[in-house]
Amino acid sequence: MLQRPGGQLSPAPSPGRKGLYAGLVLLGVVVAGVVAGLLLIGPREPEPAPAAPPPPRPVPTSTLTSPSLVESELVATGQAIAAAITQGDSAAFGKLACEPQSPAAMQQLQDKWDAAGTVTATMVQPVKVAGERATITIHVESPKGGKKDTDFPIRKKADRWCIPG
């Protein structure tokens, strides 16, 4: 028995009811947590699709040359690259560079070509052009059966197409 203020006695709550109340409170917390979780991860209204990016600006070719002239200049550059590789001529290859190459760099290239032996190089069509930049692919084959395609970045500098670097 419990004594209340004012001196009245009341029976103590039974242990079964305390467990019942605690269980109901715990169940309420769990249900509230589940509802909150479902609201957070539940299906949402679809978000509007992002606006399409603006179309890329066209990259103009040189205004002084026609596309056919640019193409013929690039083909000539590609053929010169292939010829220098086939002939194993690092000096000719160096003349195709946009910047002068050091004698050490040219000797290193010549040593690699000498070690590779005889190869045949040809230009692969088409040339990829984007304004004053292009990519020329050179196909190289050795008599031993080795084959490799190499992309050469090309750019326009001082009215000529050259290999940067």
pLDDT band at 9 (very low <50, low <70, confident <90, very high): low
Domain containing 158 — which CATH number? 3.10.450.50
Domain that holds residue 82: 67-162
pTM (predicted TM-score) = 0.59
Task: Give residue-wise pLDDT tens across range 52-77.
Answer: 555 444 434 333 345 688 889 999 99
Segment 16-29 shows an average pLDDT of 50
Is 30 in the same domain as 76? no
Whether 5 is in a domain gets the answer no
Q: Is residue 143 assigned to a domain?
A: yes
Among 143, 142, 141, 165, which residue's Cα sits nearest to residue 153? 165
* CB distance 142 to 118 below 8 Å: yes
Q: Do residue 27 and residue 79 come from a single domain?
A: no
> Is 120 in the same domain as 73?
yes
Let me know whether 71 and 122 are in one domain: yes
Bridge partners (DSSP) of residue 123 are 138
How do residues 112-130 score in pLDDT, each as one tens digit?
A: 999 888 999 999 988 999 9
Residues 158 and 84 in one domain: yes
Number of domains in the chain: 2
Domain identity same for 35 and 82: no
pLDDT at 4: 58
Q: Specify if 145 maps to a domain.
A: yes
Same domain, 155 and 77: yes
Q: Give the pLDDT score at 31.
A: 43
Of 25-34, 83-92, 104-113, the poorest mean pLDDT is in: 25-34
pLDDT score of 66:
53
Which of 88, 82, 151, 154 minimizes the C-alpha distance to 122? 82
